[in-house]
Amino acid sequence: MSIALSLGNNLTTGGIFKPTAINNTSCDNVTSFSGITGGGGLVLLSTQTASASTSISFTTGIDSTYDEYVFKFINLHPSINNYFAFNLSTDGGSNYNVTKTTSFFRASHEENDTANSFGYITSGDQAQQTSYQRILAPIYTDNDSCGSGTLHLFTPSSTTYVKHFIVRTSAMQENNKAFDMYVAGYANTTSAINAIDFKFESGNIDDGIIKMYGVAKS
């Protein structure tokens, strides 16, 4: 009764609850919610932390459970100045050599505001090639230099369609530049993709975290 009276006293003349009407944000005593459905949330499946690692691979958990997988790169730092890249596998990681067609464009801006650029990067795209796809423009080994970003991989388990991916990354490069990169394309295979590998084109991943999420189906 006291709760009902409290709510009633916090109604406006238009029948709308005031912000102070409900102020208990604790759900500690709730054991279940029935009849609630939804989708689209991220489900954390795996986290890997680099430590002078040649590469980081995800060889389990990529299956038909999810229609979209999201990979997040956090503060990747290289041992040698170079590009960060990825490749896909249809045999559980025995080989990373899936044929891809991709596009690559980027924007850059220097800290001292003396130069900026925006354009398509032909050296970053692929046309029916099996090599690793660049996704982070050269990260340098300066102590504070690193790169971060997100890769979306769609319906990797489909045996009917090609597999699309979209990548958005940001990196600190030489001359203290901010690089904003956009990569997209498709793995031109109707075989199921079941593994993915990330690495710098040379040297090691000195530091950084990569997380794999599944996007819950609606």
pLDDT at 137 (0 to 100): 84
pLDDT at 18 (0 to 100): 60
What the block records as the tokens of 73 is: 């790169």
pLDDT at 10 (0 to 100): 64
pLDDT at 21 (0 to 100): 58
CA distance 44 to 46: 6
CA distance 97 to 95: 6
Q: What is the pLDDT of residues 104-149, one digit of tens each?
A: 999 999 999 999 999 999 999 999 999 999 999 889 899 999 999 9
Q: Where are the domains of the chain?
A: 39-215
Q: In CATH terms, is domain 39-215 a member of 1.20.58?
A: no
CA distance 39 to 90: 27
CA distance 217 to 40: 6
pLDDT < 70 stretches in the chain: 1-39, 218
pLDDT at 217 (0 to 100): 84
pLDDT at 176 (0 to 100): 86
Asked if 103 contacts 134 with a C-beta cutoff of 8 angstroms, the reply is no
